[in-house]
A and B are shown apart, each in its own frame.
Chain A
Amino acid sequence: MASISMTVNGREVSGDAEDRTLLVEFLRNNLGLTGTHVGCDTSQCGACVVHVDGEAVKSCTMLAAQAAGSAVTTIEGLAAGGELHPVQKAFHENHGLQCGFCTPGMIMAATDMIRRHGASLDEKTVREELEGNICRCTGYHNIVKSILAAANEMGGAQQAAE
C-alpha cells in the first residue's frame, strides 16, 4: 500500500492503493470517477482513454503509480461551469452515440486529436486516428461527423480569438 497523489481534473487528490493498481481502477474505485470505462482491459478498445499530462493514454494499461505527480483529465473534467465541452456538444447534436459505453473514450481521443490537428482535421485523418477506439453500436459514421463538427467549431473559435 502506498499513498498516490496526482492532479485530477484540476484538483489535487491522493489515495491509498497497492503498487499494482491500474490508473483506471484508481480513478473509478478510489476517486469514484466512473465516467472512464473498462471495455476490453487489453488496451484495444479505448473505452478507458484519459489524458495524462496532456496526452491521450489507455488507463487500463498504466499503473496509477506511473501517473503519480501528473495531471490527469477524465471525461468528468471536460465540461466547464455546467456547459458541455464543444466535443461533448457535437456528439450530442450529431447522434455520435447510441449505448454510450465507448463515448467517454471516444471524446477523450477526439479532444486529443483536435488539439494536435486543429481545424485542418479531415475525415481520413479522423478515421485513422480512431484506430484505438472501438464502438459496437454506431458504425462510426456519426462519431466521425461529430469530431469533424467539433474540430470545425473549435478551430473556428481559435481563429476568431487570434
Chain B
Amino acid sequence: MIPGSFDYHRPRTLNEAVGLLADHAGDAFILAGGHSLIPMMKLRMATPEHLIDIQDIGELTGINVAGGTIEIGAAVTQAALISSAALADACPILRETSLQIADPQIRNVGTIGGNVANGDPGNDMPAVMQALDAEYLLHGGGGERTVKARDFYEAAYFTARDESEILTSIRIPVPAQGHGYSYQKQKRKIGDYATAAAAVILSVSNGNCTAASIALTNVADTPLWAQAASDALVGTDLGAAAVTAAVDAARAITDPASDGRGPSEYRTHVAGIMVKRAIEAAHERAA
C-alpha cells in the first residue's frame, strides 16, 4: 500500500520545524522513525498533507545523565536506548522495555519521542514514563513548557500536546540507587503489542518497601499510573498479602477493550498477572 499524497519537509533546526508546523497548522505531522505513522498513513487512518521529518535536527538527539536527571532527546532510537551504558547503569528498565518493543530493524528507527507522543495505548514507553514520573518538554511557537507523563494522555491518540508543538526531550528523575525494576509484557507473538503489561519501580530498605510506582500498558484507552496499587506496597514487606492488595488495586482501574487480543475480562486477568510478576522481579532485583 502507498500512503496518500503529502509534501515532505526536512528542516535543519528546531525553529524551522516549529515554523513549518505553524505554517501548516492542523495539516502537518512530525515524522520521526515513521514506524507508527507510515503504517497508519498506508491504512488512511492518518492523512497528513505535510510531513516534517526531524532526522536532521541535532538538538533532538543525545542522552544525558547529570545532576539527578536523565534527559533523552525525542529522536533517540530504541536501539540507542538499548546500547547506552549510562542508561543501563542509571535506569535499566528503559533497556528492558526497549528490548520488548517490535524487532531489531524497527528498533533501529523507532524513536522514544514517537513512542510517547503517538498516543496509542499499545505503546510500551508511556506507562514506563508514568512509573518513572517522567516529564515531556514541548516546544511550540509560544515557547517551551513541560507536561508530566502522568498528565499527558487523554484518550487513544489524544494527548496534551498541541498540534503546533514538538516534543523535544524527556526528563526522568534518576531512580534511587539500588532500586528494583521490571517491565513484564504478555504478547500473542514476537513483535506484537501487549495484551497487557506492567511497569514496576520500587525501593526496599531493611526488608521494607519504602517507595513504589506501578503503571499499566494497553488495558485502557490511555496508559494508567496505578497510584492505589503503588501505595498498597509502601510500608509492607512485599509479602503475599501486599502483592495481592496491589494486584487487586491495579485490576480495579483497568478497562480494556475486547478485541483480537482477547475479551476484556481476560486482559484484566493478564494485567493482574503482569503486575504480580513485575513486583516479584523488582523485589528480587532491589538491593
Closest to A55 in B: B108
Contact A20–B3 (Cβ < 8 Å): yes
Contact A132–B2 (Cβ < 8 Å): no
Please judge, given known A-B contacts A62-B109, A113-B104, whether A43 and B5 are in contact too, CB under 8 Å. Answer: no
In angstroms, Cα B224 to Cα A118, docked, is 41
The contact of B4 among A20, A25, A131, by CB within 8 Å, is A20
- For residue B35, CB closer than 8 A to chain A, the reply is yes
Contact B38–A63 (Cβ < 8 Å): yes
In angstroms, Cα B114 to Cα A61, docked, is 15
- For residue B281, CB closer than 8 A to chain A, the reply is no
Contact B8–A62 (Cβ < 8 Å): no
The number of A-B residue pairs with CB atoms under 8 Å apart is: 79
- For residue B10, CB closer than 8 A to chain A, the reply is yes
In angstroms, Cα B9 to Cα A68, docked, is 12
- For residue B66, CB closer than 8 A to chain A, the reply is no
Binary contact readout B7-31 vs A (1 if CB under 8 angstroms, 0 otherwise): 1101000000000000000000001
Binary contact readout A13-30 vs B (1 if CB under 8 angstroms, 0 otherwise): 000001111100100000
Contact B34–A63 (Cβ < 8 Å): yes
- For residue B39, CB closer than 8 A to chain A, the reply is yes
Binary contact readout A26-56 vs B (1 if CB under 8 angstroms, 0 otherwise): 0000000000000001111010010000011
Interface of A, secondary structure class, is mixed
Contact A131–B53 (Cβ < 8 Å): no
- For residue B191, CB closer than 8 A to chain A, the reply is yes
The contact of A63 among B5, B8, B103, by CB within 8 Å, is B8
- For residue B252, CB closer than 8 A to chain A, the reply is no
Closest to B4 in A: A20
- For residue B157, CB closer than 8 A to chain A, the reply is no
B4 partner residues in chain A, CB cutoff 8 A: 20
Binary contact readout A89-116 vs B (1 if CB under 8 angstroms, 0 otherwise): 0000000000000000000010011000
**B32 → A minimal CB distance (Å):** 10
In angstroms, Cα B38 to Cα A25, docked, is 14
B103 partner residues in chain A, CB cutoff 8 A: 46, 131-133
Instruction: Find the residue from A42, A66, A109, A112 having the highest chain B CB count within 10 A.
Output: A66
B245 partner residues in chain A, CB cutoff 8 A: none
Contact A62–B38 (Cβ < 8 Å): yes
- For residue B266, CB closer than 8 A to chain A, the reply is no
In angstroms, Cα B108 to Cα A43, docked, is 13
Contact B104–A109 (Cβ < 8 Å): yes
In angstroms, Cα B79 to Cα A57, docked, is 12
- For residue B1, CB closer than 8 A to chain A, the reply is yes
- For residue A123, CB closer than 8 A to chain B, the reply is no
In angstroms, Cα B110 to Cα A52, docked, is 14
**B108 → A minimal CB distance (Å):** 5
Please judge, given known A-B contacts A63-B8, A65-B10, A132-B191, whether A42 and B105 are in contact too, CB under 8 Å. Answer: no
In angstroms, Cα B7 to Cα A162, docked, is 49
Contact A41–B1 (Cβ < 8 Å): yes
Contact A131–B8 (Cβ < 8 Å): no
Contact B42–A41 (Cβ < 8 Å): yes
20 contacts between A and B (CB under 8 A): A19-B5, A22-B38, A25-B2, A41-B1, A42-B42, A43-B39, A43-B105, A43-B106, A44-B191, A56-B105, A56-B108, A62-B38, A63-B8, A63-B34, A66-B53, A113-B104, A131-B190, A132-B102, A132-B103, A132-B106
> What 7 A-B pairs are tightest by C-beta distance, nearest first?
A132-B103, A19-B8, A131-B103, A55-B108, A65-B8, A131-B190, A20-B3
Q: Which B positions have Cβ atoms within 8 angstroms of A?
A: 1-8, 10, 31, 34-35, 38-39, 42, 51, 53, 55, 79, 102-106, 108-109, 190-191
Inter-chain pairs besides A43-B102, A68-B10, A132-B104, 16 sampled, C-beta below 8 Å: A18-B5, A20-B4, A22-B2, A41-B42, A42-B39, A43-B35, A43-B39, A44-B191, A49-B105, A55-B109, A56-B108, A61-B35, A63-B31, A132-B102, A132-B106, A132-B191
